[in-house]
Amino acid sequence: MAWFLGIGITGVVLLALSLVFDGVLDGALDGALGGALDGWLSLPVVAGFAAMTGFGGAIATGLADPGPAVAFPVGAVFGLGAAWLTYRFSRALMRDQTAVTPTGDDLVGTSGKVVTAIPVGGFGEVLLQLAGQPVKFAARSAGPVARGAEVWVEAAPTATSVVVRPVDH
């Protein structure tokens, strides 16, 4: 039983290492056997297999004492189940996509308010809505724009600045 517990503990240690060194070995064997093992040889899957093979063998030995020749295959069945669940769970997590991150180009054509007057040839500040949140940007304009004026964004040359024009009502 000690061997099986050692294998199980080794699997748990591997799992902890896979959390610390996330993705270090992922892709190392991509394309092996024509791509048939892609995803199956990731560190979490191997760790889950090793842990459950060890603990499953220890459980079989503790319950029936069938000997290692029978306990190992029983543990391997538990290990394959854990590996399959880990593989499926990691694939589901990898398919989970988030929304697209907003960029400065999303600001072009939006309106905002001037919070610091924009002088000719200089920068002022405007308050714009980016992804539903108010964000302050440095702003330039072809002509002077007073504080409180409504403006349209014509361009976003950098991540923190915009080129605006006053809105004519």
CA angle, 22 then 27 then 28, to 5°: 100
Q: Look at the pTM and tell me if it is higher than 0.85.
A: no
Residue 131: pLDDT band with limits 50, 70, 90? confident
Average pLDDT for the chain: 83
Select the highest-mean-pLDDT range: 16-25, 32-41, 59-68, 95-104.
59-68
Residue carrying the six token digits 């949140």? 133
Q: Residue 8: what are its φ and ψ, rounded to 5°?
A: -65, -45
Structure confidence at residue 32 (pLDDT)? 55
SS3 assignment, position 9: helix
Band (pLDDT 50/70/90 cuts) for residue 128 is very high
